[in-house]
């Protein structure tokens, strides 16, 4: 495996790929990129937006080219940018049209293709495909693709093989399902075509709107590339992440989870906002994960955890018995927020739906809010729980207040109504096995939590998880974010996202208010983004591009206003068919641009109403939600 010891991750050393003046991969800096949203044939508007992106720090600009004419316009755009002194390389975004890809390769430094629709439309698994049909489909894809590969090699251009969850070819869906394996096999098939021609200036992406799917797809791809003995640079992104703070945090979770393990060479934070707003969060991630990795000195063998599979360690429930992952694996506890935490007013409509900071469980009318007990100088917000009749106290106990000689420990509390959280520091790691065994044997199951404070939190929590797996222990882990961590919400989202993607942590505690977002919005957004707890309606909305058939931001705002009181529902808002039924793979409902001024409405991945006038489309979407029995009054 790429990471034989996940306690010592290092940056993946890939091939170097040149994209114009930009060097990507190997040990070059993590590059930041974005995509224009203007119509490509509006050369002046596209040039202006590309200049704004470059000024904001964007190092590569992607522009859609749905037709040969628009691919030809890329030459004019590039020429004007160079005339104005801007040398940022350009990437053509291609779907469905090999001819447009061939034209674009003459004008820009990089071409992105999607194997799922390069030589045909994405399919589903209803129709059986014989082995012969599969092979014939592969040969047809090869014949359509090889001329582009030869032209890219001739012109010195780079290629992105960009696979998206939900937009796989019918062949791949039938053989592998709409799975991470199907995504990887799609990418590898096109890699084999490239290698036939000796072409290696390749970048890969494996995007999904589901953070966990995205993380595991990239990991699986890296394993296969390692087996082929050639590692190519990776473009990271959570597609259709949405807008605003929620979109930023969801992107940070997926991108950060991979950067934590040294995977990723260029990143895009895709937002349903003006593209210039993507650059700041992307640069923050790139900067944070470009810092030297601390020498952890945690010589602990890899044991019992497969990083390619979702395999959370079973845990005892503590506190809220209803807080579980959607699929029922493991327990997720209520978020604990700092006493007196404040949110930024008016920052997000999501705040209107979230529980208050002082109590994350409902209280009876007139019932007092939970109290706070301080242990070792740490404020602890108490949890209201259905498991006991009264308020539950969670006491955080720094392990250093107990004698270092583990054999002389005695139970520090006798109150069975308390949840005990043992907080470990790296000083205790040399005796971690005896320490955990003592806690496991002497304190009540279902009332005990563990946490650790470290300069390398992901590594340290992985160590705890591995140690507990070896013991067969079901003690849950709480991620306790220090005041210092709370100063950088984007980096914190990456750290928490990595641990949630692995199913390692089971609750989240914030020691202080979180910068920029406020504690409540941060805590609920990262749990929602990871699929750990669904507190609000989730929106899968594309960032827009020159193909978009309606104004994404105001339309998305109207849909949110009408439906944001429906927690657990997932609604996709897609500007065109390219970002339609495929990329909203697991949404309950879809609102997709079908023609100027007209919308197709979906239930799941099935079109149920076509060419709805845009003026009526939101009302008809609400009607569909009601017809499907998913509506409740605000």
Where helices occur in 502-627 by DSSP H, the ranges are 519-529, 552-563, 614-627
d(CA 419, CA 96): 57
The mean per-residue pLDDT over the stretch 105-115 comes to: 96
Where helices occur in 228-292 by DSSP H, the ranges are 244-259, 276-288
d(CA 52, CA 57): 9
318 vs 597 pLDDT, higher one: 597
The mean per-residue pLDDT over the stretch 318-341 comes to: 39
The mean per-residue pLDDT over the stretch 336-357 comes to: 52
Residue 16 pLDDT > 90? yes
**Residue 514: predicted pLDDT:** 86
Q: Which CATH class is domain 538-627?
A: alpha beta
**Residue 122: predicted pLDDT:** 62
The pair of three-digit structure tokens given for residue 373, joined into one six-digit string: 């007990």
d(CA 35, CA 239): 12
Residue 364 pLDDT > 60? no
- pLDDT-derived band of residue 512, with 50, 70 and 90 as boundaries? confident
- pLDDT-derived band of residue 149, with 50, 70 and 90 as boundaries? very high
433-474 pLDDT, tens digit each: 888 888 888 777 777 888 888 888 988 898 888 888 888 888
d(CA 483, CA 469): 29
The mean per-residue pLDDT over the stretch 231-241 comes to: 92
Q: Does residue 54 sit in helix, strand or coil?
A: helix
Sign of the Cα torsion 441, 442, 447, 448 reads negative
Residue 606 phi/psi, 5-degree rounding, is: -105, 130
d(CA 21, CA 382): 55
- pLDDT-derived band of residue 279, with 50, 70 and 90 as boundaries? very high
408 vs 173 pLDDT, higher one: 173
Percent of the chain residues topping a pLDDT of 70: 76
The mean per-residue pLDDT over the stretch 125-154 comes to: 88
Q: Does residue 4 sit in helix, strand or coil?
A: coil
- The count of other CB atoms within 10 Å of the CB of residue 515 is 14
The pair of three-digit structure tokens given for residue 505, joined into one six-digit string: 């942590």
- Determine contact, residues 368/358, Cβ cutoff 8 Å: no
The mean per-residue pLDDT over the stretch 107-113 comes to: 97
Q: Does residue 613 sit in helix, strand or coil?
A: strand
**Residue 236: predicted pLDDT:** 97
Residue 294 pLDDT > 70? no
Give the strands of the sheet with 110-113, arranged side by side.
Answer: 202-207, 158-164, 110-113, 90-94, 60-64, 31-35, 266-267, 235-236
Which of 273-287, 294-308, 501-515 shows the lowest mean pLDDT across its residues?
294-308
Which of 202-216, 383-397, 481-495 shows the lowest mean pLDDT across its residues?
383-397
Average pLDDT along the chain: 79
pTM of the model: 0.86
CATH superfamily of 16-288: Dihydropteroate synthase-like (3.20.20.20)
Delimit the domains of the chain by residue range.
Answer: 16-288, 349-518, 538-627
Angle at which helices 432-442 and 457-471 cross, to 10°: 60
Sign of the Cα torsion 242, 248, 253, 256 reads positive
- pLDDT-derived band of residue 413, with 50, 70 and 90 as boundaries? very low
């Amino acid at each position: 495996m790429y990471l034989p010891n996940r306690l010592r991750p290092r940056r993946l050393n890939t091939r170097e790929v040149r994209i114009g003046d930009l060097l990507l991969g190997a040990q070059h800096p993590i590059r930041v990129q974005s995509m224009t949203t203007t119509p490509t044939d509006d050369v002046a508007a596209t040039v202006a937006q590309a200049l704004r992106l470059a000024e904001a720090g964007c190092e590569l600009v992607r522009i859609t080219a749905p037709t040969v004419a628009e691919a030809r316009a890329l030459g004019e755009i590039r020429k004007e940018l160079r005339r104005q002194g801007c040398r940022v390389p350009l990437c053509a975004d291609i779907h469905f049209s090999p001819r447009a890809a061939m034209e674009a390769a003459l004008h820009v430094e990089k071409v992105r293709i999607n194997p799922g629709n390069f030589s045909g439309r994405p399919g589903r698994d209803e129709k059986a495909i014989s082995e012969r049909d599969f092979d014939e489909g592969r040969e047809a894809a090869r014949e359509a693709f090889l001329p582009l590969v030869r032209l890219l090699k001739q012109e010195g251009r780079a290629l992105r093989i960009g696979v998206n969850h939900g937009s796989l070819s019918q062949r791949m869906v039938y053989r592998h399902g709409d799975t991470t394996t199907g995504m990887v096999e799609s990418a590898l098939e096109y890699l084999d075509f490239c290698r036939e021609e000796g072409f290696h200036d390749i970048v890969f992406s494996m995007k999904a709107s589901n953070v966990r799917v995205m993380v595991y797809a990239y990991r699986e791809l890296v394993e296969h590339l390692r087996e082929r003995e050639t590692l190519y640079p990776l473009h990271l992104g959570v597609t259709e992440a949405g807008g605003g703070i929620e979109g930023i945090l969801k992107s940070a979770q997926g991108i950060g989870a991979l950067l934590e393990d040294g995977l990723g060479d260029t990143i895009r934070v895709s937002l349903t906002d003006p593209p210039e707003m993507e650059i700041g969060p992307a640069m923050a991630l790139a900067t944070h994960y470009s810092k030297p990795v601390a020498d952890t000195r945690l010589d602990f063998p890899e044991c019992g955890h497969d990083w390619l599979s979702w395999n959370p360690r079973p845990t005892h429930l503590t506190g809220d018995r209803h807080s579980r992952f959607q699929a029922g694996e493991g327990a997720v506890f209520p978020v604990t927020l700092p006493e007196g935490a404040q949110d930024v007013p008016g920052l997000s409509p999501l705040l209107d739906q979230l529980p208050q900071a002082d109590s994350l469980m409902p209280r009876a009318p007139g019932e007092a809010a939970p109290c706070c007990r301080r242990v070792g100088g740490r404020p602890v917000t108490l949890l209201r729980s259905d498991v006991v009749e009264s308020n539950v106290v969670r006491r955080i106990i720094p392990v250093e207040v107990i004698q270092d000689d583990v054999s002389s420990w005695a139970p520090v509390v006798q109150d069975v109504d308390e949840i005990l959280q043992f907080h470990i520091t790296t000083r205790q790691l040399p005796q971690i096995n005896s320490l955990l065994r003592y806690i496991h044997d002497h304190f009540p199951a279902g009332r005990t939590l563990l946490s650790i404070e470290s300069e390398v939190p992901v590594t340290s929590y992985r160590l705890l998880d591995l140690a507990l797996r070896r013991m067969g222990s079901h003690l849950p882990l709480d991620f306790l974010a220090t005041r210092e961590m709370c100063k950088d919400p984007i980096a914190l989202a990456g750290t928490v996202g990595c641990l949630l993607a692995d199913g390692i942590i089971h609750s989240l505690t914030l020691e202080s208010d979180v910068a920029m977002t406020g504690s409540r919005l941060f805590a609920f957004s990262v749990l929602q983004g990871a699929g750990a707890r669904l507190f609000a309606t989730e929106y899968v909305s594309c960032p827009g591009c020159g193909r978009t058939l309606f104004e994404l931001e105001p339309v998305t705002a109207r849909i949110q206003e009408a439906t944001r009181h429906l927690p657990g529902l997932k609604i996709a808002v897609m500007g065109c068919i390219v970002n339609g039924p495929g990329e909203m793979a697991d949404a309950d409902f879809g609102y997709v641009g079908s023609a100027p001024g007209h919308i197709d409405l979906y239930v799941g991945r099935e079109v149920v109403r076509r060419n709805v006038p845009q003026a009526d489309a939101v009302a008809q979407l609400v009607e569909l939600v009601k017809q499907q029995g998913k509506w409740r009054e605000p």
